[in-house]
Chains A and B, each alone.
Chain A
Amino acid sequence: MILLFAIASGVLFASGIYMLSRRSLVKILIGLLLLSYAVNLLLFSSANLVPARPPIIPPGETTPLPGFADPVPQALILTAIVISFGTIAFAMVLIRQSHIVSGTDDMNEMLCSDLPCGTDEVVDKRSIEVDENGDAVTS
């Protein structure tokens, strides 16, 4: 079982890193998603997989029987899933917004933060028009 987890996690890592090295932002996003799945599997197997031994103290005992399944990694995964859900959701919105303002999802064409964009390099930050949703209006 642990071998299966190791292989699954490894495959997810490899494909995640492959997707991260692509230029398209959507593919990078998929890469990040795959990586977070890979890590969740790794966390899940971090306390060794113990089937059918719940960490419950039997009546009359003061400690659970030795060899019980460790519940801590499951709590960790739960937290990690929630956090990665939040960050990926934000990343998705950001990538959509970046597609709207720059009209491309190719990393190689996103040069505005490195080179002066267009002719007017010095834009007064307060003259940017904003529509009712708070999004910048693009011309």
Chain B
Amino acid sequence: MIVFVVIAPLTFAILMLLLSNRPQIQRWISLLASATILTIAVLIFRLTLTNGIQTIQAGNWRAPFGITLVVDTFSAVMLVISGALALILAAYSIGQIDPQRTKAGFYPLFFFLLTGVNGAFCAGDLFNLYVWFEVMLMASFVLIALGGERTQIEGAVKYLIPNLLASTLFLCAIGLLYNMVGTLNMAEMALRLNHVQPYGQVTVVAVLLLIAFGIKSALFPLFFWLPASYHTPPVTITALFSGLLTKVGVYALYRVFTLLFTQDAVYTHTLILILAGFTMVTGVFGATAQTDMRRLLSFHIISQIGYLLMGLGLFRQQALAAGMYFMVHVILAKTALFMVSGIIFELKGSYNLKKLGGLYAAKPSLSLMFLLPALSLAGLPPLSGFFAKLVLIIAGFELQQYLIVAVGLFVSFFTLYSMTKIWNEAFWKSTSEDAHTTVARVNAWLWVPTLALVALSTAAGVLAAPLYGVCQMAAMQISNPSTYITAVLGAMP
């Protein structure tokens, strides 16, 4: 069953290549295809809820020798989110992606990207994870440069070089780990890493992986590529990247630092916690200085990554569950905000806050679609961001990490400030002199998917209790690596 979540997007990507001269058919099939992928993901999710961790041994090679695909509750949640996002963005792309980009291969790349993302969520083998990362990166390199405008090409260069460096470091860490334990299967590796002497060499590799995944997930000193590149492609692509790419990096960090590198947690997880604090602060301060809406939101991606890593850095079941709930919240809310910014561009022809204005008077419903995810991101009750931050902060108090709690609350305040800035400039301010309305009405393909995502994001707040319950279950699994190891290797040796 779980293999289909990887095979399906790959098949659709190839199908899209064959249909590259039929944009209209491509658009309809992309809707159908992403709905199929979402259905498969939901089925897998239900399977993991009832039957526990699902595994597949490729080619029936027994676990440490073959390639294993593993889906636990955490992976399943991520698969469902990526499926839902794919469906919503496939619909949004119909209204937003221009014919040239469609012809240049937007849809095949979209599904290749999903293949990589879903593959990374299922990988049970470190080298396999690397390969899925590369599939995802390759598709994202082309997507970000697709269209060939000067800003895009320059953004793509700035995106490409750090990410290639990160892949190299990742590969380096894999080589060193293989030398220590002689296996690439993550479950087997987790067992054998306990016996490596002296343990210091494992910590070195752990930090090497932290740097590699840190570049990919835009962690504090390594985030500079993100605000330089994410705002350059069309909004559909930016939304897709903001929803999935950095989050795959965070997922890999969660996986690796709960399963493999747990012995020296005082060192590694404290380091993660410190980096998380700096990531939050620099992200939000970067955002307050911006006047371009997409750049502002890009900086917010970074600051939210800080909260996700705070959950990992605190490293207790409660905190991990909080981090996962935060992940669901931030993917939905942030993608919705990017989609709203795309609609504003469609209406006003600009992302520049100085040139916008009067949208509240002209489009009250659009204002609501902005306000809900924006306030959710800032953490106002009863929206999902409030609960996400609440559980994270309670976990921080329980572990007596008051400093990071203080930083989290402080950053939350500044998030509210910069959301208010967008609200004041784009919605509330009266129409400025040089603002011009390009179109009076927005294409339904733009606002219907946005509305759907805003509804989903609001639902994540209203249904916080069941969703958090699932996250707690997922956190219980990843904080007890023995469950994972038994599921992969058959039995604890």
Contacts and interface: CB of A to CB of B under 8 A. Distances in A.
Contact of A101 (B148, B158, B172, B175): B148
Contact of A35 (B160, B168, B174): B168
Contact of B149 (A48, A70, A125, A134): A125
B182 A98 contact: no
Interface in B158-198: 158, 160-161, 164-165, 167-168, 171-172, 174-176, 178-179, 182, 184
B145 interface: yes
A101 B153 contact: yes
Interface string B131-151: 100100110011001011111
A90 B159 CA distance: 13
Contacts of B23: none
B179 A110 contact: no
A39 interface: yes
A32 B134 contact: no
Given A113-B155, A113-B158, A136 B178 contact: no
17 contacts: A39-B171, A43-B174, A46-B179, A73-B175, A83-B134, A87-B134, A94-B153, A95-B157, A101-B148, A101-B153, A102-B154, A112-B151, A113-B229, A117-B151, A124-B349, A130-B148, A134-B100
Contacts of B167: 83, 87
B453 to A, nearest CB: 22
Contacts of A42: 172, 175-176
A7 interface: no
Contacts of A138: 150
B23 to A, nearest CB: 14
A112 B157 CA distance: 12
A25 to B, nearest CB: 7
Given A98-B157, A113-B158, A121-B352, A39 B172 contact: yes
B444 interface: no
A114 B80 CA distance: 34
B156 to A, nearest CB: 6
A128 B176 CA distance: 48
Contacts of B179: 45-48
Considering residues B150, B160, B178, B438, which has the most beta carbons from chain A within 10 angstroms of its beta carbon?
B150
Report the contact-size class of chain B (Cβ under 8 Å from the partner): 35 or more
B232 interface: yes
A70 B234 CA distance: 47
A122 interface: yes
Nearest to B235: A125
A86 interface: yes
Given A42-B172, A72-B178, A124-B349, A94 B147 contact: no
Interface residues of A, number: 49
A7 to B, nearest CB: 16
B137 to A, nearest CB: 8
B138 A117 contact: no
Interface in B88-104: 98, 100, 103-104
Contacts of A95: 157
Interface in A23-64: 25, 28, 32, 35-36, 39, 42-43, 45-48
Most buried by A among B127, B151, B160: B151
Nearest to B163: A87
Contacts of A20: 161, 165
Nearest to A98: B153
Contacts of B258: none
B378 to A, nearest CB: 26
B355 interface: yes
Contact of A76 (B153, B174, B228): B174
What are the 6 tightest A-B residue pairs by CB atom distance, in nearest-first order? A136-B148, A46-B175, A113-B155, A43-B175, A46-B179, A101-B150
Interface SS of chain A: helix
Contact of B161 (A32, A47, A70, A101): A32
Contacts of B165: 20, 32, 35
B82 interface: no
B234 A125 contact: yes
Contacts of B262: none
Given A113-B232, A126-B98, A134-B104, A94 B145 contact: yes
Contact of A134 (B103, B154, B161, B175): B103
Interface in A77-95: 79-80, 83, 86-87, 90-91, 94-95
B350 interface: yes
Contact of A110 (B157, B174, B184): B157
A1 interface: no
A79 B131 contact: yes
A96 B457 CA distance: 42
Contacts of B100: 126, 128, 130, 134
A48 B104 CA distance: 46
Interface in B335-353: 349-352
Given A122-B352, A136-B148, A91 B174 contact: no
Interface in B223-237: 228-229, 231-232, 234
Contacts of A45: 179
A43 B150 contact: no
Contacts of B156: 94, 98
